[in-house]
Amino acid sequence: MQAALVLMIVLSTLLGAFSQKPHHCKSPPYLQGKLLVDFSEGRSVVYEQFYYDALEQRIRVILAGKEGEHDVFLDRILLYREKVYYDIIYHNKSCIKNSLDGAFVPIAIPPEAKHRAQVVLGSLSGPAQGLLVNNWVGFDPELKANYSLTFTEFGCIPIVNMYRIEGTGHFLLSFFDIVVGIEDPTVFIPPEFCSSKTLVEQRDGKAANFFNALLYA
């Protein structure tokens, strides 16, 4: 009986310690939802469809909307491991292939990130009124960027990730309507007409990096 009591006290102390100090949680490797990309020069894009595969280092973003009077459309598959991205143009069944440079930046908390704050977005005064999140900060020497990353306490779902890149500006990635998993795994495979004669390779200009490849240009 006494042993059980001691065990309970030890356990509750341990659990207390864990609950006090948020751990470097592991984000899901597959995500889909909506993504807002905001760049410091006042450029921002909302992708209604965003697909993310951390294991194969692939992203797909789809944008369909209006910019003032103009219809805008973008369907881009980014294959970071193959260092290319495709823009798919449906109306004439063609594709544009571009070079991708630099490493894939996973949506994850780097091991060296420092925990800055745990806060509730909204309120815990009633059910479904608040969301417990953790904010992590640090410096990425490879990207030469200070980062501020906010993930949910439960599920480790990204909320908003900010990168301040030396000499470039800030990139803000905001995530909405996130679903864990990928409904259709073929979403990262360029359509068949991309490998046919209609493929245009753009070799002029600088290769895009992780961030600016996500900006509609």
Residue type, 173: L
Per the document, the length of the chain is 217
Among the listed residues 153, 187, 199, 209, the single contact to a second copy using CB under 8 A: 153
39 versus 176: smaller Cβ distance to a second copy: 176
Q: Does 18 contact a second copy by CB under 8 A?
A: no
Among the listed residues 180, 187, 207, 215, the single contact to a second copy using CB under 8 A: 180
CA 190, 193, 195 angle in degrees (round to 5)?
70
Query: What is the closest distance, in whole angstroms, from the C-beta atom of residue 52 to a second copy in the complex?
Result: 12
Among the listed residues 2, 20, 92, 125, the single contact to a second copy using CB under 8 A: 125
Contact by Cβ (8 Å): 38, 212: no
Burial of 4-26, coded b for 16+ CB within 10 Å and e otherwise, reads: eeeeeeeeeeeeeeeeeebeebe
Query: What is the closest distance, in whole angstroms, from the C-beta atom of residue 209 to a second copy in the complex?
Result: 26
Chain residues 81-120 in contact with a second copy, contact rule CB under 8 A = 119-120
Contacts of 167 (CB under 8 A, 6+ apart): 144
# chain residues binding a second copy, by CB under 8 A = 30
Q: Does 65 contact a second copy by CB under 8 A?
A: no
For strand 130-140 and strand 145-152, is the pairing parallel, antiparallel, or unpaired?
Answer: antiparallel
88 versus 157: smaller Cβ distance to a second copy: 157
Chain residues 23-62 in contact with a second copy, contact rule CB under 8 A = 33-34
